[in-house]
Amino acid sequence: MATQQSGTSDFINNLGKIYGMYTGGFAAFVILLAILEQVGVPNKILGFLFVGFTIVVYAMIGILSRTMQVSEYYVAGRQVPAVYNGMATAADWMSGASFLAMAGTLYVLGYDGLAFVLGWTGGYVLVAVLIAPYLRKFGAYTVPDFLAARFGGNLARFLGIVVLLAASFTYVVAQIRGTGLIAERFLGIPYDVGVFVGILGILLCSMLGGMRAVTWTQVAQYIVLIIAYLLPVVIMSAQRTGIPIPQLMYGEALQNIAALEQGMVDSGLAAADTIQRHLQPFSSTDPLNFFALVFCLMIGTASLPHVLMRYFTTPSVREARKSVGWSLLFIFVLYFTAPAYAAFAKWEVYENVIGASFADLPNWVYIWGASGKVTLCGAAAASLEAVQQACAGKDVVGLADFSIAKDVIVMATPEIAGLPFVITGLVGAGGLAAALSTADGLLLAMANALSHDIYYRMIDRNAPTARRLVAARIILLGVAILGAYTATAAPPDILALVAWAFSLAAAGNFPALCLGIWWKRCTTAGAISGMIAGFGTTLAYLVYTAPPPLGFGEGLIFGIQNISAGIFGIPIGFIVMIAVSYLTPEPSEEMQQLVDEVRRPSGTVVADRGRAASA
Amino acid sequence: MATSNQEGWWSRTKGLMIGCLVVWAIFGFVVHFFVDALNDIVILGFPLGFYMAAQGSLIVFVALTFFYAYRQDAIDRRFGVAEDD
């Protein structure tokens, strides 16, 4: 025990050195593959090495971090320094979709896509100010754990678990799909097999070591994903503008895009009334939906259990607060680069594709056209003949003729910029790191809630430590297999469900967490009825408006898109919670003291005392 | 700890919370109501309204969370409720 403790603190003290060496090793690995490419090793083998090598490294970190201690398993021993917890949170947060599809969304939507950028960063202000430090002081293992303590008992705990599972499961299925698609593309194996390769990687990282293993794996995954994200666009910026700082230089791209758009209208390549200008706000959505989406994504961010639980692992309340800042900084690095990706890609397309004659199309059009990701005149741009056949009767490519899939922009950038395949392989490894790290966090959030909250707290309060941890692992395995099965069986529009996760989590959790901390008068009856009302309203709206088979496909209310369904549920949750709280007797003196203790940073951890008393 | 001290600490904490949320609301929402007007100002090729949504507000959010952590810690120390270092 003593040696294990000192071994752990040695590790914590040397984190900078360890991850510095890791980053150097990864850079050396990329350079080695670049050399292999030059000497003629085929692309398929390079892709295999990228995916295989990174998964093996993550799995090794996971296995080295195996643990049989409860606090290590659930909260990494509460000794993860703020900066590293920030990196792990950033990897946990940024999904395969953020990595691969965010820039593409901005490419397609222009200004209107910035709702995602604003929503997914601004929410962290709420996490920092309203919630994370207080949950850390309470000392919970899971979010439902806190709800149960504050709102006296298992009904609140159970509702917390329902919200957690509803929000996390749809989200994890999308991540598993992402790993399957990347494995399919880079390893050339069938998608169904790819899903199970991905799930194996995820399980090796999280099963033996729980939160401790996931934390150190996610730090490693953040380093891979951020290098992979920045490198192609930095090179593209240097090629195009002479300065390798895309975040600063894409202003030039924006000006060129605007000029090229005007040129297309003048020359008849685009119709003046249908062209969607990149800088024009509210051309694909109205302001109401834009701001409703920003609001739901922000509140959702502050309510997602797999994100909040990352702040349970810091050594102190002070570190938890700082860690939110670090998380946001590391997330910011990717999110403020995404608009640059979109702008450089659009500049390239508008300059070299739109208005070009069919014989002069750049080669990347065909590379991505072969898989149907780029289409011309409605047909896959697989070859010059295919394009000429589809666009018969036209001399040059018009704006409306060309279309590129959203998730291709980031992956195609190395080819658009004429870079070697090794950079494409790096981007694949980055996308895989993003999807795996998010899946790790989500699976662990669900398994922890089921093993700690349901099995230990609600079924067998006398379960010995070993049995609790074995149960946690069996449940993790079960959830992972169910997720993988759903990812192979579910219809493709499962990706639309990800947006639901934010609205459901926001309406179900946010009012109860926020008022539970900031309003002593909030009663158990109030919280429970508010959670049911908020979550229920949001779910009802989603089902009412979603297209079949998920819902009824009925018309929108006040024109609100179903991606922003939380705009109804969040206020209703608050109103019901406040109204019912005033109608029921004030919470006990004891409960009010508990709230005081949760607010005050100094003093003992509230939950640990409860654990000692019940043990 | 004396009750008055506790109340002083909590009112400072609440004040900081409200201040942070006001800044958050301004840069999360209010600024972007004026995107069309701001777009008339162009800096380094960036129309200002577009820039605020793509980068400007994000920079404010990052700075705000670090500022909050620093300020709240100062309040905690002043009223003697901070954790031991």
User: DSSP of A236-255, one letter per residue?
Assistant: HHHHHHS-S-HHHHHHHHHH
Give the mean model confidence (pLDDT) for residues A32-42.
93
Residues of chain A positioned with their CB less than 8 A from the CB of B81: 600-602
Confidence of residue A614 (pLDDT cuts 50, 70, 90): very low
Q: Is B35 on the interface with A (CB under 8 A)?
A: yes
Amino acid at A15: L
pLDDT of res. A85: 95
Q: Report how far residue A570's alpha carbon sits from residue A508's, in angstroms, rounded to the nearest whole number.
A: 8
Q: How many A/B residue pairs have CB atoms within 8 Å?
A: 131
Smallest Cβ–Cβ distance between B69 and the set A254, A287, A322 belongs to A322
Q: Which CB contacts under 8 angstroms, 24+ apart, belong to A451-459?
A: A451/A475, A452/A74, A452/A141, A452/A142, A452/A145, A453/A142, A453/A144, A453/A145, A453/A148, A453/A157, A453/A160, A453/A161, A454/A161, A457/A145, A457/A148, A457/A154, A457/A157, A458/A154, A458/A157, A458/A158
Place of tokens 């950079």: A423
The conformation of residue A396, written as its DSSP 8-state character, comes to B
The 10s digit of each residue's pLDDT in A583-612 is 999 999 989 999 999 999 988 777 766 554
ipTM higher than 0.90? yes
The 10s digit of each residue's pLDDT in A115-141 is 999 999 999 999 999 999 999 999 888
Residues of chain A positioned with their CB less than 8 A from the CB of B65: 124-125, 128-129, 324-325, 328
pLDDT of res. A615: 38
Q: A132 to each of A368, A599, B11, B72, how far by Cα in Å?
A: 43, 11, 19, 13
| pLDDT at position A7 over 50 | yes
Chain B nearest CA to A343, separation (Å): 11
Q: Report how far residue A337's alpha carbon sits from residue A234's, in angstroms, rounded to the nearest whole number.
A: 10
| pLDDT at position A434 over 70 | yes
Place of tokens 């029921």: A584
CB contact at 8 A, A51 and A432? yes
Tell me which range, A246-250, A455-459, A548-552, is most confidently predicted by mean pLDDT: A246-250
Q: Report how far residue A111's alpha carbon sits from residue A122's, in angstroms, rounded to the nearest whole number.
A: 17
pLDDT of res. A82: 94
Helices B3-25 and A114-126 pack at an angle, to 10 degrees, of 180
Percentage helix, strand, coil for chain A under 3-state DSSP, each rounded to 5 = 75, 0, 20
CB contact at 8 A, B77 and B6? no
Mutate to test the interface with B, among A102, A112, A114 (most CBs of B within 10 A): A114
| A325/B57 Cβ within 8 A | no
3-state secondary structure A451-486: HHHHHHHHHCCCCCHHHHHHHHHHHHHHHHHHHHHH
Supply the DSSP string of A540-573, one letter for each residue.
HHHHHHSPTTTS--PPPSTT--GGGTHHHHHHHH
| pLDDT at position A429 over 80 | yes
For chain A positions 310-349, those within 8 Å of chain B (CB to CB) are 316-318, 321-322, 324-325, 328-329, 332, 335-336, 339
Give the mean model confidence (pLDDT) for residues A259-264.
92
Chain B nearest CA to A143, separation (Å): 22
Residues of chain A positioned with their CB less than 8 A from the CB of B21: 125-126, 129
Residues of chain B positioned with their CB less than 8 A from the CB of A318: 69, 73, 76, 82-83
SS3 (DSSP) at A374: strand
Rg of chain B (C-alpha set): 18
Chain B nearest CA to A431, separation (Å): 22
Supply the DSSP string of A98-162, one letter for each residue.
HHHHHHHHHHHHGGGGHHHHHHHHHHHHHIIIIIHHHHHHHT-SSHHHHHHHHTTSHHHHHHHHH
SS3 (DSSP) at A282: coil
| pLDDT at position A2 over 60 | no
Q: Is B79 on the interface with A (CB under 8 A)?
A: no
Residues of chain B positioned with their CB less than 8 A from the CB of A295: 29
Phi, psi torsion values for A396, nearest 5 degrees = -130, 165
| A322/B82 Cβ within 8 A | no
- The number of beta carbons lying within 10 Å of the beta carbon of residue B53 is 25
| pLDDT at position A613 over 60 | no
Q: Report how far residue A66's alpha carbon sits from residue A207's, in angstroms, rounded to the nearest whole number.
A: 8
Give the mean model confidence (pLDDT) for residues A417-442.
90
Confidence of residue A233 (pLDDT cuts 50, 70, 90): very high
Residue of A nearest to B68 (CA): A129
pLDDT of res. A288: 93
Residues of chain A positioned with their CB less than 8 A from the CB of B59: 332, 336
The burial of A10, by beta-carbon neighbours within 10 Å (0-12 exposed, 13-18 middle, 19 or more buried), is given as exposed
pLDDT of res. B14: 95
Confidence of residue A453 (pLDDT cuts 50, 70, 90): confident
CB contact at 8 A, A264 and B32? no
pLDDT of res. A309: 93
Residues of chain B positioned with their CB less than 8 A from the CB of A339: 54-55
Residues of chain B positioned with their CB less than 8 A from the CB of A254: 45-47, 50
pLDDT of res. A13: 87
Confidence of residue A271 (pLDDT cuts 50, 70, 90): confident
CB contact at 8 A, A252 and A277? no
Give the mean model confidence (pLDDT) for residues B48-67.
96
pLDDT of res. A492: 58
Contacts of B84 (CB under 8 A, 6+ apart): A602
Smallest Cβ–Cβ distance between B61 and the set A124, A248, A321 belongs to A124
Nearest to A318 by CA among B7, B76, B1, B79: B76
pLDDT of res. B3: 53
Chain A nearest CA to B15, separation (Å): 11
Helices (H), B1-85: 3-25, 31-33, 35-38, 48-51, 57-78
pLDDT of res. A4: 47
Residues of chain B positioned with their CB less than 8 A from the CB of A253: 45
Q: Which two tokens stand for residue A174?
A: 């999308």
Least confident of A39-48, A146-155, A202-211, A569-578: A202-211
pLDDT of res. A499: 77
Q: Is B45 on the interface with A (CB under 8 A)?
A: yes
Smallest Cβ–Cβ distance between B68 and the set A321, A518, A602 belongs to A321
Confidence of residue A192 (pLDDT cuts 50, 70, 90): confident
Confidence of residue B1 (pLDDT cuts 50, 70, 90): very low
Confidence of residue A179 (pLDDT cuts 50, 70, 90): confident
Q: A526 to each of A135, A328, A577, how far by Cα in Å?
A: 20, 33, 4
Tell me which range, A94-108, A148-162, A276-290, A564-578, is most confidently predicted by mean pLDDT: A564-578
Alpha carbon A7 to its chain centroid, in Å, reads 32
Mutate to test the interface with B, among A93, A102, A121 (most CBs of B within 10 A): A121
Tell me which range, A138-147, A498-507, B28-37, is most confidently predicted by mean pLDDT: B28-37
Q: Is B53 on the interface with A (CB under 8 A)?
A: yes
Q: A415 to each of A339, A345, A410, A472, how far by Cα in Å?
A: 19, 11, 10, 44
- The number of beta carbons lying within 10 Å of the beta carbon of residue A169 is 18
Least confident of A62-76, A272-286, A550-564: A550-564
| B69/A321 Cβ within 8 A | yes
SS3 (DSSP) at A89: helix
Confidence of residue A1 (pLDDT cuts 50, 70, 90): very low
Q: Which two tokens stand for residue A483?
A: 């997720």
Smallest Cβ–Cβ distance between B61 and the set A111, A316, A328 belongs to A328
Place of tokens 């008393």: A613
- The number of beta carbons lying within 10 Å of the beta carbon of residue A272 is 10
Q: Report how far residue A510's alpha carbon sits from residue A298's, in angstroms, rounded to the nearest whole number.
A: 11
Chain B nearest CA to A112, separation (Å): 10
Least confident of A33-42, A339-348, A382-391: A382-391
Residues of chain B positioned with their CB less than 8 A from the CB of A246: none
pLDDT of res. B35: 93
Q: Report how far residue A237's alpha carbon sits from residue A347's, in angstroms, rounded to the nearest whole number.
A: 11
Q: Report how far residue A222's alpha carbon sits from residue A332's, in angstroms, rounded to the nearest whole number.
A: 13
Q: Which two tokens stand for residue A560?
A: 């609100």
Report percent pLDDT > 90 for chain A.
50
Mean of per-residue pLDDT scores for chain B: 92
Strands B46-47 and A402-404: unpaired
Confidence of residue A490 (pLDDT cuts 50, 70, 90): low
Residue A404: beta bridge partners? A374
Q: Report how far residue A132's alpha carbon sits from residue A513's, in angstroms, rounded to the nearest whole number.
A: 10
Contacts of A102 (CB under 8 A, 6+ apart): A116, A117, A335, A338
Place of tokens 């070993």: A466
